[in-house]
Amino acid sequence: MNTVLEPLPATSGPLATLPLLRLEQAGSVLHIRLNRPAKRNAVSDELLAQLHTAFVNLPATFRAAVISGEGEHFCAGLDLGEVAERNVSEGMQHSRAWQACFDAIQFGPVPVIAVLHGAVVGGGLELASAAHLRVAEASAFYALPEGTRGIFVGGSGSVRISRLIGVARMTDMMLTGRVFDADEGQAFGISNYRVADGDGLAKALALASKIATNAPLSNYAITQALPRIADLSASDGLFMETLMSSIAQGDDAAKQRVRAFLDKRADKVQKT
Ligand code: 1HE
């Protein structure tokens, strides 16, 4: 597996001019690093716009993406310096822009893995919850200080974070300012993998490289259909599952992979 990171070539179109992000590639995996460490990667309007631009312009050569944060923290959430002057209408547009960006991550063309370390707070946790998988280092901590700041989640956290950890835990975090550490985050379902400090990126790249070898249509079905089916009634969900599975198994990639197993050319499932 190729997990050596290289800078993106200057010819990478709209991705070549996003100074608040650092973009690198490892084979077919794109690594997007929030690059505003002096402000703890707080999400300003400009950073949000650049993140959105990156995810809606992913070159088709990438099969998976990893998102991480430069410096001591993954992300300190909303840039509080930009909040004070917004009126209600501007606040609505702002929240919709966050939701559009995070929809572009969750419902974009490739699986996305977030590497979490240090502060993963407010909008930072909303961003993390838009990824499909999360790898947390020991230093990670999670908080939703919106309650104490007199605001509310506006970047889809009420939908995505509550689905990860449950409404009751999210209510506790928002009402009391409760902070969870990496082990609690792992136990409560925020992270899928919990690793030592400094190991998060390598783990995420290894996972992304493996995911990138799956059939693209399977990955797409997993990331697009599963969350939508979870939003449906059981009956509608089962019908969508039938549609999705028949589309996936009708694809040439499925036929080749099943044939490879039957011909003993593909790996067996191994107990780890
Ligand atoms: C910021 C921000 C920010 C840091 N907006 N500037 N988010 C919060 O309520 C979290 C606020 N931040 C913190 O609690 C702490 O900064 C951290 C725990 C994340 C990191 O602490 P530390 O000691 O490493 O850094 P610091 O010294 O507090 O901050 C360094 C600089 O970053 C400092 O600026 P400087 O000019 O004085 O150097 C901080 O002001 C700046 N900074 N965090 C703006 N968030 C779509 S709705 C989402 C709603 C939310 O996200 S609410 C949660 C907001």
> Residue 128: pLDDT above 60?
yes
Q: What is the pTM of this model?
A: 0.96
Residue-level pLDDT at 10:
78
The atom number, within ligand 1, closest to the CA of 39 reads 32
**Is 126 part of the annotated catalytic residue set?**
yes
2 CB neighbour count, 10 Å cutoff: 13
Testing ligand 1's pocket by substitution, the residue of 41, 73, 80 carrying the most ligand atoms inside 8 A of its CB is 80
Residue-level pLDDT at 108:
96
Axis-axis angle for helices 252-262, 234-250 (nearest 10): 70
Q: Whose CA is nearest to atom 53 of ligand 1?
A: 122
Residues flanking ligand 1, CB < 6 Å: 39-40, 42, 72-73, 76-81, 98, 119, 121-123, 145-146, 149, 151, 153-155
> Cα(72) to centroid of ligand 1, in Å?
12
pLDDT in tens, 166-212: 999 999 999 999 999 999 999 999 999 999 999 999 999 999 999 99
Residue type, 216: P
> Cα(92) to centroid of ligand 1, in Å?
22
Q: Whose CA is nearest to atom 11 of ligand 1?
A: 76
Q: Residue 21: name the closest of 45, 50, 44, 42 by CA.
A: 50
Residue-level pLDDT at 9:
84
Testing ligand 1's pocket by substitution, the residue of 36, 40, 45, 116 carrying the most ligand atoms inside 8 A of its CB is 40
The arithmetic mean of pLDDT across residues 39-58, rounded, is: 97
Residue-level pLDDT at 1:
52
Q: Residue 90: name the closest of 80, 82, 102, 79 by CA.
A: 82
- Give the separation between CA 105 and CA 31, rounded to whole angstroms: 13
> Residue 83: pLDDT above 90?
no
Whole-number average pLDDT of the chain: 95
Greatest CA separation found in the chain? 65
Residue-level pLDDT at 21:
97
pLDDT band at 105 (very low <50, low <70, confident <90, very high): very high
**Is 146 part of the annotated catalytic residue set?**
yes
Q: List the structure tokens of 161.
A: 């974070």
Buried b or exposed e, range 74-106, using 16+ CB within 10 angstroms: bbbbbbeeeeeeeeeeeeeebeebbbebbebbb
- Give the separation between CA 110 and CA 107, rounded to whole angstroms: 8
Residue-level pLDDT at 2:
54
pLDDT in tens, 4-31: 899 988 777 899 889 999 999 999 999 9
pLDDT band at 263 (very low <50, low <70, confident <90, very high): very high
Residue-level pLDDT at 171:
97
